[in-house]
């Protein structure tokens, strides 16, 4: 039930015609067997990188990681990574192999891969190559290390986070020995760069229901600033939030909430997040749910400070934090969407008058002008005045006289 993508199939055919063993491998085989559409097709082959480049022509090839055996080949406007079968030497830094050696047998290549569900290869001619029982683990919904788990996590501590990431993505359970080893070696995560940790956490937090996979024994080494007694609460809140890569900001906010705005900024800065991410998450952490929402006014006040997307994230977060008020926050979000669609006035820049109009009407320039505009905005968003020039100017004249 694996249907090779045409581009991948054409590249495999060309390698086979040239006499090299070659397969689709890893994520694309796993996803195909799960009935999901793979987002990219990685290939592996007995051909050496220079042989791959010769076969497909220098022009079609990008030498992505020649020393690791990877060549990226362009085909029909898409990119495919073709990696030579390889084994890895010793790992003295706990993260990267000291050396790699090219080997002729795909099984040796599969043995270096992290989990059984990621260690399968497929070609149309030979069918599935699955020496570690990946297909069975997929059917049972289990993530299990290839080989001796302790050794595999000792080699590369990033695999500890990959374990939880893949399990969360598919809602799988984790093999007992594999999980015990991951927890035992969690301190080895100090070998992993903060950039890779952040990337893995993003993927983990994007999963449908990541709560159960936020393991305190592991998280203690990923986010030492987090109070672990908050975690069981955080897990529930996070699972109640919308999933997906675009929603990860809100999930980060739910996780970092007890750190407050400053603590959140510091933690995300340590993980080398972009300023946009830091600002987005810390805004959500800082802004507290209104106590007595007069719907329209609250929506306008929020839209006066933030874009609609941030308001949507805030209402999602508040709903998860206070499920008993979910209807209220959903209505608040709907109101914000309606007001945005109507281009309702929520900011000084949306008033029917500007500073120049007020000066022409006799308001003195300077801080008083700003205060006058803000007073007008308050009248308009509370509905005491319509957003119409004549009425606003009449009110401003009173304001400047007093």
Binding site for Mg ion (CB under 5 A): 27
- Cβ burial of 174 (10 Å; 0-12, 13-18, 19+) is buried
Which partner, Mg ion, ligand ATP, none, binds residue 118 by CB below 5 to 8 Å per kind?
ligand ATP
Q: Identify which of residues 40 and 337 has a Cβ nearer to Mg ion in the complex.
A: 40
Smallest distance from Mg ion to CB 77, Å: 19
Q: Binding-site residue total for ligand ATP (CB under 6 A)?
A: 11
Smallest distance from ligand ATP to CB 177, Å: 17
Backbone angles phi, psi at 192, to 5 degrees: -95, 135
Residue 372 is a binding residue for ligand ATP (CB under 6 A): no
Cα 218 from Cα 161, distance rounded (Å):
8
Cα 187 from Cα 157, distance rounded (Å):
9
Which partner, Mg ion, ligand ATP, none, binds residue 264 by CB below 5 to 8 Å per kind?
none
Smallest distance from ligand ATP to CB 380, Å: 49
DSSP 8-state symbol, 117: G
Cα 241 from Cα 251, distance rounded (Å):
7
Q: Identify which of residues 192 and 332 has a Cβ nearer to ligand ATP in the complex.
A: 192
Number of H helices, E strands in the chain: 20, 11
Which partner, ligand ATP, Mg ion, none, binds residue 192 by CB below 5 to 8 Å per kind?
none
Residue 26 is a binding residue for ligand ATP (CB under 6 A): yes
Task: Taking each helix axis as running N to C, give the angle between helix 6-17 and helix 49-56, from 0 to 180 degrees, rounded to the nearest 10.
Answer: 110
With CB under 6 A as the contact rule, the residue among 109, 137, 156, 202 that binds ligand ATP is 156
Q: How many CB atoms lie within 10 A of CB 225?
A: 12
Which partner, Mg ion, ligand ATP, none, binds residue 158 by CB below 5 to 8 Å per kind?
ligand ATP
Which partner, ligand ATP, Mg ion, none, binds residue 159 by CB below 5 to 8 Å per kind?
ligand ATP
Cα 346 from Cα 369, distance rounded (Å):
18
Residue 188 is a binding residue for ligand ATP (CB under 6 A): no
Smallest distance from ligand ATP to CB 119, Å: 6
Strand order in the sheet with 78-84: 61-65, 70-75, 78-84, 43-45, 22-25, 121-123, 127-129
Residue 158 is a binding residue for ligand ATP (CB under 6 A): yes
With CB under 6 A as the contact rule, the residue among 159, 188, 251, 265 that binds ligand ATP is 159
Smallest distance from ligand ATP to CB 231, Å: 25
Stretch that binds ligand ATP, among 64-72, 156-164, 185-193, 273-281 (CB under 6 A): 156-164
Q: What would the 3-class secondary structure string for 311-353 be?
A: HHHHHHHHHHHCHHHHHHHHHHHHHHHHHHHCCCCCCHHHCCC
- The contact mask relative to ligand ATP for 88-127 (x = CB under 6 A, - = no) is -------------------------xx---xx--------
- The contact mask relative to ligand ATP for 36-55 (x = CB under 6 A, - = no) is ---x--x-------------
- Cβ burial of 19 (10 Å; 0-12, 13-18, 19+) is exposed
CA angle centred on 333, ends 392 and 204, rounded to 5°: 135
**244-283 residues near ligand ATP, rule: CB under 6 A:** none
Give the E-state strand segments of 54-139 in sequence order: 61-65, 70-75, 78-84, 86-88, 100-102, 121-123, 127-129
Cα 25 from Cα 130, distance rounded (Å):
10
Cα 20 from Cα 230, distance rounded (Å):
54
Residue 27 is a binding residue for ligand ATP (CB under 6 A): yes
Q: Identify which of residues 32 and 283 has a Cβ nearer to Mg ion in the complex.
A: 32
**220-249 residues near ligand ATP, rule: CB under 6 A:** none
Q: Identify which of residues 106 and 226 has a Cβ nearer to ligand ATP in the complex.
A: 106
Smallest distance from Mg ion to CB 26, Å: 7
| Residue ranges that bind ligand ATP, judged by CB under 6 A | 26-27, 39, 42, 113-114, 118-119, 156, 158-159
């Amino acid at each position: 039930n694996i249907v090779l993508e045409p581009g991948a199939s054409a590249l495999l055919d060309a390698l086979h015609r040239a006499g090299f063993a070659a397969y689709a491998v890893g994520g694309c085989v796993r996803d195909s067997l799960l009935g999901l559409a793979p987002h990219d097709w990685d290939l592996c082959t007995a051909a050496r990188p220079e042989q791959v480049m010769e076969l497909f022509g220098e022009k079609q090839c990008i030498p992505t990681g020649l020393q690791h055996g990877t060549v990226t080949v362009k085909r029909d406007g898409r990119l495919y990574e073709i990696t030579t079968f390889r084994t890895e030497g010793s790992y003295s830094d706990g993260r990267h192999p000291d050396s790699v050696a090219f080997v002729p047998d795909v099984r040796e290549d599969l043995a270096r891969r992290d989990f059984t569900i990621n260690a399968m290869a497929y070609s149309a001619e030979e069918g599935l190559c699955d020496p570690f029982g990946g297909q069975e683990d997929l059917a049972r919904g289990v993530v299990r290390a290839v080989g001796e788990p302790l050794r595999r996590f000792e080699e590369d501590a990033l695999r500890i986070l990959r374990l939880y990431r893949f399990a969360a993505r598919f809602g799988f359970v984790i093999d007992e020995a594999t999980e015990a080893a991951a927890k035992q070696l969690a301190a080895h995560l100090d070998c992993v760069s903060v950039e890779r940790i952040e990337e893995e956490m993003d993927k983990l937090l994007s999963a449908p229901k990541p709560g159960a996979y936020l393991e305190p024994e592991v998280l203690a080494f990923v986010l030492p600033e987090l109070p672990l007694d908050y975690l069981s609460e955080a897990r529930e809140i996070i699972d109640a939030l919308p999933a997906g890569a675009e929603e990860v900001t809100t999930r980060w906010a739910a996780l970092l909430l007890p750190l407050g705005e400053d603590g959140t900024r510091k933690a995300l800065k340590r993980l080398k997040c972009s300023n946009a991410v830091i600002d987005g998450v810390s805004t959500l952490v800082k802004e507290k749910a209104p106590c007595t929402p007069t719907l329209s006014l609250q929506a306008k006040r929020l839209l006066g400070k933030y874009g609609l997307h941030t308001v949507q994230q805030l209402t999602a977060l508040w709903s998860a934090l206070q499920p008993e008020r979910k209807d209220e926050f959903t209505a608040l979000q709907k109101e914000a969407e309606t007001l945005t669609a109507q281009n309702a006035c929520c900011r000084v820049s949306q008033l029917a008058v500007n500073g120049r109009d007020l000066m022409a009407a006799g308001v003195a320039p300077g801080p008083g002008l700003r205060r006058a505009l803000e007073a007008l905005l308050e009248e308009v968003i509370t509905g005491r005045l319509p957003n119409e020039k004549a009425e606003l100017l009449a009110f401003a004249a009173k304001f400047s006289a007093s």
